[in-house]
Amino acid sequence: MNVSTSIITGVVSGIITYLVLFCLAKVFRNLVLPWYQSLIYQGKKINGTWTGYRAEVQNGRYIADDLSRSTINLKQKANKITGEILVTRQISGKDCRKIFIIKGSFKDNVLIINLKVKDRSRMGGGTYIMCLAEDGQKMKGKHTYVSSHDAKSIFAKDEVWIRSNQSGDKTID
């Protein structure tokens, strides 16, 4: 075997080795590790559908606002959270809808998610920080977001989420 054949063989085997190791790392990171984390996860399960209400706190009680409602679909793998939020708001008597993609984590009964608008031709994004409450049937917290109208104003609103299997009680203690 001459020198050029040895070099070509070495380069080709190096590339093949790299590709095999790259694929194995991807499989481990995307399949094996999430499966194992889900298997040993000891925390609460919050996956499923929730209904969210913008709320006002009065005398320590959350009072839901009928002008803004969200449908939240959470997917949970161990403490990693993904999903979508459909926000419906009434503005001047019209229903305005916007869908957001969410990504975040749930640890020690605290959910922290970031959201960005699904339709990239529209503006929108923000963060939710929510605490699990009432035997895991409600979440209470804050929604912080940048105004879609002027892209300069930042707001923080109280928010309450109720698991979909719950009644539509608008007064949340």
| pLDDT reported for residue 171 | 44
Q: Which CATH superfamily is domain 48-172 in?
A: Quinohemoprotein amine dehydrogenase alpha subunit, domain 2 (2.40.128.120)
Task: Check: CB of residue 149 under 8 Å from CB of residue 137.
Answer: no
Series of mean pLDDT values for 10-residue runs along the chain (173 residues): 86 95 93 82 89 79 73 92 90 81 94 92 89 92 82 83 66 47
| pLDDT reported for residue 169 | 46
| pLDDT reported for residue 65 | 67
| For the chain, domain boundaries | 1-40, 48-172
Separation between Cα atoms, residue 99 and residue 116, nearest integer Å: 9
| pLDDT reported for residue 122 | 83
Mark 54-81 as b/e (b = at least 16 C-beta within 10 Å).
bbeeeeeebebbeebbbebebebebbeb
| pLDDT reported for residue 64 | 66
Give CA angle at 50 (47, 51), nearest 5°. Answer: 170
| pLDDT reported for residue 40 | 77
Of the candidates 95, 50, 90, 51, the residue with the CA atom closest to the CA atom of residue 67: 90
Q: How many residues does the chain have?
A: 173
